[in-house]
Amino acid sequence: MTEVRLLAPHEVEAVSALARVVWQATYPALISQTQIDCMLADRYAAERIHAQLDDPRHAWWVAQQGQQLAGFAHATHDGTDCKLDKLYVHPDKQRQGIGSALLATVQSWARAQHAHRLWLQVNRGNTQAIAAYQKLGFRIIESRVFDIGSGFVMDDHVMERML
């Protein structure tokens, strides 16, 4: 059984560790190891996540199976729309409904924020994630290259789902 709940501050390091596992299983074929390391250090820095936990515009959730952290999600809202910023499931736990459970929680939160749209960015080469998001009702609305600094870019599809 999967339990989805808000991320507790003492779980931040576990989320960062799981992010590394997922990214190492997913992104080496899509972006360089240097970019992976840079993005992990930036997006999963403990100080950054703790600050987001204290910011009502952000929400973090974890999915747990027994004692194991199986996945996590992070979303933001800007007063109009919500962005699904992160949704990752351990490679050994994928295709078991964990991503769907996390997404359902994110969508409930987005509706509570009075958002009408949930959107995300996904690497154009991440065909498995694109297919999963399409199955969950998202559609590609744009494809762009985003400059993220330090000489790196993200070559992404922007996808949305109306709420």
Q: Tell whether the model's pLDDT for residue 149 goes beyond 90.
A: no
Antiparallel, parallel or unpaired: β 2-6 and 58-65: antiparallel
Mean pLDDT of the chain: 95
CA torsion sign for 49, 162, 22, 142 is negative
Supply the pLDDT for residue 87: 97
Model pLDDT for residues 14-47, shown as the tens digit of each residue:
999 999 999 999 999 999 999 999 999 999 999 9
Q: Are 141 and 160 in contact (CB under 8 A)?
A: yes
Domain at 2-115, CATH class: alpha beta
- Cβ neighbour number for residue 37 with a 10 Å cutoff: 12
